Amino acid sequence: MINNYSTLKKAVEVFHTYGISLAGARKNDHFIQTLQMDPIFVNGLIFELELELQRFIMQENVMDIKTPRELIDLLLKIPQDN
């Protein structure tokens, strides 16, 4: 549980550098449609989260990620240093 808390804290910091708030329903906003993010910036966000959290997301899973909540859920399922 402690590990998940520190992981979430790091993830929130990375999201904030991209100007994404995870408060309330905002965590369910679609990256491209609602947040108006370019796909390149979404990929950059994913890369920075992988780097900061030391986790690797398989490319086929990246295509399924549409919201911050989906991304965080996926990152929490992946073991560290995989």
Asked if residue 41 lies in contact with residue 18, where contact means CB atoms within 8 angstroms, the answer is yes
Domain coordinates in residue numbering, the chain: 2-77
Write the pLDDT tens digit of every residue in 38-59: 999 999 999 999 999 999 999 8
Does domain 2-77 fall into CATH 1.10.287.130? no
pLDDT tens figures, 16-35:
999 999 989 999 999 999 99
